[in-house]
Amino acid sequence: MPKNRLVVPIVKWVGGKRQLLDEIIPRLPERITSYCEPFLGGGAVLFSIQPSKAIVNDLNADLIAVYEVIRDDVESLIDDLKKHENTSEYYYKIRDLDRDKAAYQAMSKVERASRLIYLNKTCFNGLFRVNSSGEFNSPFGHYKNPNILNEPILRAVSKYFASSGITFFSEDFSATLDRVGRGGFVYLDPPYDPVSDTASFTGYNKGGFGRSEQIRLKQCCDNLTRRGIKFMLSNSATDFIKDLYREYNIDFVKAKRVINADASKRGAIEEVLIRNYGYE
């Protein structure tokens, strides 16, 4: 199927892969019959290759709900997004809706999806972050003209979802990987191993993704290999990750980290792309 250039990420997500696509795409298997992405986030790789069959997952249930609303009821979402205001007072009113759990759950799925997109477009640095209670806590971004509503892109993504065999999940990554059949391809983009004691960012969801989780993910990758399933994994080029995946093909690539409150600390750093297959 021809690719639609309007099918691009809807939200900006920490660790998004748009700037690494030129490194990732040439390393993909030549033929992908079914695709799996257990850490979907903004979905840059999914939207770039636009597979006709895919299993995608993210532990952030609100994010997955956004994608389901775009697939099932994009026009209602577009209508709801039109109501939002780019003011500090309004922003904090919408941001704090999740402080009352009962009231938040009483919101419609469309309203919750609209809220997440609005906050993502107007919060500081596009940084989706929740506290230990699972409450969104990024401050207002003070942007002059944030692109809160992009109707052509929303409709294009909706059309792609509706015409493709894509199933959405919000579960532990290991459960998603168990769903992949032989011959499938998996792209893994987990929260990165921190390059320093102060570099860790684990605020995508309550909890975190420490080294015990990195080790558990590596064990899942070994299982994929035993099952004859190809995978590619992105991570930071720490000694821990390089040693953990030492028996696999490791390519070093430069990536520019753009989400950092200190502009002087935004720059190209070394990352790794790890594969259990060679070039084809």
What number is the average pLDDT over the span 136-144? 94
Q: How far apart are CA 258 and CA 128, in angstroms?
A: 14
Q: How far apart are CA 188 and CA 71, in angstroms?
A: 23
> Angle, nearest 10°, between helix axes 74-81 and 61-72?
110
Check residues 199 and 112 and name the one with the higher pLDDT: 112
Residue corresponding to tokens 């792209």? 187
3-state secondary structure of 269: strand
Give percent of the chain above pLDDT 70.
91
Beta strands 249-256; 268-275: pairing state: antiparallel
CB 240 within 8 A of CB 214: yes
Cα 189–Cα 151–Cα 113 angle in degrees, nearest 5: 55
Report the pLDDT value the prediction gives residue 60, as an integer from 0 to 100: 92
Report the pLDDT value the prediction gives residue 169, as an integer from 0 to 100: 98
CB 95 within 8 A of CB 119: yes
Check residues 201 and 55 and name the one with the higher pLDDT: 55
Residue corresponding to tokens 């109501």? 83
Alpha-carbon separation of residue 232 from 28, 90, 146, 222 (angstroms): 8, 42, 34, 12
Report the pLDDT value the prediction gives residue 203, as an integer from 0 to 100: 46
Per DSSP, 40 falls in state: -
Cross-sheet strand order for the sheet of 268-275: 165-169, 53-57, 35-37, 185-188, 230-236, 268-275, 249-256
pLDDT tens-digit map of 21-60: 999 999 999 999 999 999 999 999 999 999 999 999 999 9
What number is the average pLDDT over the span 66-73? 98
CB 163 within 8 A of CB 127: no
Residue 258 exposed, middle or buried by CB count within 10 Å (0-12, 13-18, 19+): middle
Task: Compute φ and ψ for 122, nearest 5 degrees.
Answer: -115, -10
CB 47 within 8 A of CB 7: yes
Terminal-to-terminal C-alpha distance of the chain: 22
